[in-house]
Structure 1
Amino acid sequence: MKKSNDFVLSFFGLKEGKHIFEYKIDKQFFEFFGFDEFLIADFKVTLEFIKKSTLLELYFSSQGKATVACDVTNEPFELPIEGALSLVVKFGEEFNNDNEEVLILPHGEHQLDLSQYIYEMIVLAVPQKKLHPGIEDGTLQSDILKKLEELSPDKNKEIKDTDPRWDDLKKLLIDKKK
């Protein structure tokens, strides 16, 4: 996918004040960044853009859902994702994006590519561990889940074969406490 101009905001002709922009984000947007964890993606991003005489304020918010694979069973499920990001754009001698919350654009710039900020906002809102809701409530019927339960050690069963060396060490601890 080529870089799209759909996410380039030209603020040169805008009046000072508040402006609202909306963007539809799908799986193809994430493929551009090489992010392939979303099987299906459907997001709505709202940008509240405030233009002032010396700086720009951007407030992003996203709502949507993505179909992802469960980290335990690899079963696909729909994950609701919401994110928010705020950014202040100032003007200076040269481009500087070292700070997460402040972007410095060179004097004379009249547009800003928002795609990286939208991408980061959504991807950082994805939970670290993605669990199918059927695992938590016990409704998911999966071959992988059955096999995991089969292979997991039974907590109620006592281990019959213990190493006698450990038993001797445990006795030393008990004797020391007395």
Structure 2
Amino acid sequence: MKKDSQYDLNIAKLADKTHHFAFELDRAFFEQFDQQLIPDGTVHADVTLHKTDRLLTLDFDIKGTVRQVCDRSLDDYDQEIDTQEQLLVRYGDREVELDDNVLQITADTQTLPLAQHLFDYIGLALPMKKLHPRFQNEPDEDPDSATKLIFTTRQDGDSDGDDDGDDDIDPRWNALRNLN
């Protein structure tokens, strides 16, 4: 990803109070990342930053649409995105990601880059199964279809029950059956 200060927050100059930021994410934003998950989109992200002397709390409200490829038909379609996320940033002796939504930065950190977090939150809001809207209202497959027999090695003349015939079994295994 290229370094882009448009999505960086200059936290050094902010007072200890609540601040609001708005970001418009479009094709240029998504092209910064070397990925094929989201080729294009029109997304609006509202970020509320509550700054104290020990902690930064960032609340993300992300809404819009992103371009996706249907898993079934390979047609392009617009997927609605509506997600809320929270990122906690605390001050410490070194910069480290403590958890998925908890960062630690040093006291002399001037800017907080948000581009990767915005992209990750949008990616997490996408459904696992990407279906074009014309397929989304179709009922799922019959629940019994998952249990249908597709392949068997049994011959047509074999019975469905347990095979008690010892003719096909190696005699070495018969000796093991008698052990308890």
User: Common fold, TM-score beyond 0.5?
Assistant: yes
Residue identity opposite 1:126 in structure 2: L
| 2:35 alignment counterpart | 35
Contact 2:30-2:39 at 8 Å conserved across structures: no
CA distance change for structure 1 residues 127 and 52 in 2, over 3 Å: closer, same or farther?
same
| 1:25 alignment counterpart | 25
1:169 aligns with 2:159: yes
Give the 5 Å matches for 1:118-137: 118-137=118-137
Identity of aligned residues (%): 27
Give the drift of 1:164. 6.5
How big is each residue's C-alpha offset from its partner over 1:111-145, in whole Å with a ceiling of 9 and x where there is no partner? 1111111111001111111011112446xxxxxxx
CA distance change for structure 1 residues 165 and 44 in 2, over 3 Å: closer, same or farther?
same
Residue identity opposite 2:158 in structure 1: D
Contact 2:89-2:102 at 8 Å conserved across structures: yes
Contact 2:91-2:105 at 8 Å conserved across structures: yes
Q: Which has the larger radius of gyration?
A: 2
SS in 2 for 1:57: strand
TM score, norm. by length of structure 2: 0.75
How big is each residue's C-alpha offset from its partner over 1:56-94, in whole Å with a ceiling of 9 and x where there is no partner? 111112001012110000011111012222111111111
C-alpha distance in structure 2 between counterparts of 1:164 and 1:109, whole Å: 69
| 1:11 alignment counterpart | 11
Higher helix share: 1
Give the drift of 1:4. 1.1
| 2:92 alignment counterpart | 92
C-alpha distance in structure 2 between counterparts of 1:121 and 1:137, whole Å: 26
C-alpha distance in structure 1 between counterparts of 2:39 and 2:12, whole Å: 37
Which stretches of structure 1, 4 residues or more, deviate above 6 A after TM superposition? none
Contact 1:65-1:81 at 8 Å conserved across structures: yes
How big is each residue's C-alpha offset from its partner over 1:81-110, in whole Å with a ceiling of 9 and x where there is no partner? 122221111111111113222211112112
Give the 5 Å matches for 1:7-156: 7-137=7-137
C-alpha distance in structure 2 between counterparts of 1:20 and 1:2, whole Å: 25
C-alpha distance in structure 1 between counterparts of 2:95 and 2:153, whole Å: 65
SS in 2 for 1:169: coil
Unaligned runs of 5+ in 2: 139-144, 165-180
Aligned residues between the structures: 153
C-alpha distance in structure 1 between counterparts of 2:90 and 2:80, whole Å: 33
Contact 1:89-1:103 at 8 Å conserved across structures: yes
| 1:152 alignment counterpart | none
Give the drift of 1:173. 4.5
C-alpha RMSD of the superposition:
2.5
C-alpha distance in structure 1 between counterparts of 2:57 and 2:27, whole Å: 28
